Each structure stands twice: as structure tokens, then as C-alpha cells.
Amino acid sequence: MTAAVVEGTMQTATQLPEPGRFWIRYSPRAWPGPEGLWTHLGRGGLGVSRGGGPLPAASEDDAPALDDVLYLPPAGRLARGGRDALIARHAARGTPVLVQILVPEPAPAVRKAVFDPLPVLLDGDLEALSKVPAGAVVVWPLIAGLTDGDEVVDEGLSRLAEAGVSVLQALTLQLSPGERRRLAEGAEDEAFHALFHRPPPSERAFARRAYQGHGFAPFVSRPLPTEPLRGASNREVAGLLARAGDLCLRLAQPQGRSQGYFRAARWIDATEYDVAALAREGNLGVVGHVDDASRELVEEWLETGASSLVDELTTEYLTGPFEETEP
């Protein structure tokens, strides 16, 4: 994460929006989260809660609207009112807000929520997964020996399918030695050994199992800004390019191919030009940051609103040849 941005009374850190990190660009530097364990979607590790009190009252200053995805982690009980006020304030300004909810907490009225079942997976309370609302997006935090076992995964997938969940995105958690020791407290010997000595669980293996067994989509779509913010179409096509690059990496395709898509995505995210207009006028070919393969993807998106390449790569990721030892 990089420099802080002062937004009212909340300081936010910034990061590059990545498909595997739920497209997050902004996240709070300090957050009054729940006391227990939760998944930090932006870091891909365990979350850290700073105090359990309420959020400060939102400032009514003239700070500019955040122009990309703002991530609000799960809130402690006393902070939920302040969190809901933040959601309303930023949504009214057009900022795409990604709100994380711990299962089985009910979700506030938001456009994009991600449900985090980490506490119930660790406690073995898989029945709570049935309370996730239909059509929801769920993250499955993968931890060797604790959340990747056949029995846990099979029952969890079945309950989420019965609940009508639409997207189930796997996230292999990056854990420090101290976090591993915390998770290992009270764990059985087999789980302890897996935590410290087994390779990290494979996101692809989990995604294939979830898709082939229950039809879960493997990735959340990029949340887009709304009026009065501009630039939604640029964010949309940059998201498709980033998704293509991410899938090429996951499929171990040549680095040059994936980096070409990522380079084009970063340029489109940063430019003030209307990329759709550039493509319609035939001027995208003179942009050095956009190679031929990326330009073809943009032109297809302009014509159809989708990318056959991303669809093909996603199908290969979910159904193509695969060795269980792959990351």
C-alpha cells in the first residue's frame, strides 16, 4: 500500500486495483473492526482491528470524491452505524463502495457486498453459511489445514449453493509466523503441521471444485463509479484487460502476454481520455501503452460489451488440464 489520502475523518491507503484483491484501490488505514478473526481482502491476509468503539462522525468538508473502489472491512458492533453513514455518503458521491460482512451478520443496503465466512469456518459452524442471502458474493479464505479440508469444503459448498450464492472467490491467505501461531492455538496436530509445513492451498483447485460441482462463478466483477463521477467505461474495459492479464498469470502463460494486458489496463485507469472514443475514432493504435492484443480486446468490448478472450481464459482456468500441485 502507498500514500495516505485524507478523506474527511478517515485516512485511506491506496493500492493498485487487482482482480485477485477484489479491485480495491482505497482502504482505511485504521478501522474499528470486530474482535475476532476476519479476512483482509486488500492484503490477502488476516485483518487487524483498531479499537472497538464507534467511527468518528463523518466530516462535511469539500474533499473530492474517491474515484475508485473504497473497501470497508467488517465493522465492530459499535461502529456499524458510522459505517452505514460512510456507505451512504460515498455512494451518493458516486464512489463504488465494497463492503465486507462477516457471516452470519445481515448486510446493509449496498450495491456490492462480500460475505466473509472465516469465523464460522474456523469454528466449524457451517450451518451459518445457509444464512448468506441469495445472489451474494462470498470470499473463501484458504488456510492450509483449517479451511481447505474435503469435509469442510464439501459441506460449505453445498450450503452456499442451497443459499443461492452466485460468486465464490477463493483467496489464499498470506500469513505471518505470528498469525500462524495464533491460528494454531488449540488446533489438532495435523492442522498444526499443515499450517507450518504444507504448501499454500491452490485457488485454482478450489475454483474448479466450486464451479464443476455447483456452478459458482470464480471472480467478482469490478465495481464501477456512478454519477456524478465520470469514467465508468474506462474502469470497465481496464477491468477486462486486468482480468485477462490475471488469468494469463494464473494459467502460467508467457509473462510478456500478461504484462501487455496489465500495462494497457494501468494506462486506461490513469488516463483522462475517453478510451471508447479513442477506439471509435481509430486512434487507440497510436497509444504506446496499448499493444495489439489489448487494442483488439478494447475494440471487441466496444462492439459487444464483453471479451471472448476473457471468457475463453476463464473456461480454461475452470475446466482445462490441471495438476493439483499447481499454485
For residue range 59-96, what is the model confidence (pLDDT) as tens digits?
545 567 899 999 999 998 888 898 999 999 999 999 99
Give the rounded distance of the alpha carbon of 107 from its chain centre.
17
The one-letter code for the residue type at 172 is: T
* CA separation for the pair 245, 194 (Å, rounded): 31
Pairing between β-strand 112-116 and β-strand 137-142 as defined by DSSP bridges: parallel
For 132, which DSSP code?
A: S
Cell numbers at residue 115, please? 460475505
Mean of the per-residue pLDDT values for the chain?
A: 91
Cell numbers at residue 28, please? 482505511
- Expressed in percent and rounded to 5, the helix, strand and coil fractions of the chain are 45, 15, 45
**Block means of pLDDT (10 residues each) for the chain, length 327 residues?**
48 94 94 91 90 61 80 91 91 95 88 94 95 96 96 97 97 94 83 87 97 98 95 97 98 96 97 95 92 97 97 97 65
- Count CA atoms closer than 13 A to 195's CA, side-chain side: 20
* CA separation for the pair 99, 72 (Å, rounded): 5
